Amino acid sequence: MRRNADVEWHFQDRLQEAMEDNMVEPIDFETYDIVSESSVKNYLKGTNIPNLRTAHAMAQFLNVSVDWLCGED
């Protein structure tokens, strides 16, 4: 994935935005067997990022594209 030096990208920012827009809490991902609540909390802190399969499932759940979730416009 290319990153533009002029654009600061943070997976956690996009994840937080999509979660707020959809009124989703970290526990909701665990409830639907997508990923654990603790993993989501780590993604939101920026300490970890999900693998592609998990990012895809999260994007589908949040009704956004993986590209958008990963920082593309």
pLDDT in tens, 16-65: 999 999 999 999 999 999 999 999 999 999 889 999 999 999 999 999 99
- Answer whether residue 30 is part of any domain: yes
Contacts of 46 (CB under 8 A, 6+ apart): 10, 11, 12
> 2 in a domain, yes or no?
no
The count of structural domains within the chain is 1
pLDDT at res. 4: 47
Evaluate whether residue 1 is within a structural domain: no
Question: Is residue 55 assigned to a domain?
Answer: yes
**Over the Cα atoms of the chain, what is R_g?**
12
Is residue 33 in some structural domain?
yes
- 60, two tokens: 């589908």
Examine the pLDDT at 13 and tell me if it is beyond 80.
yes
Question: Can you give the pTM of this predicted structure?
Answer: 0.85
CATH number for the domain harbouring residue 20: 1.10.260.40
Query: What domain range includes position 35?
Result: 11-69
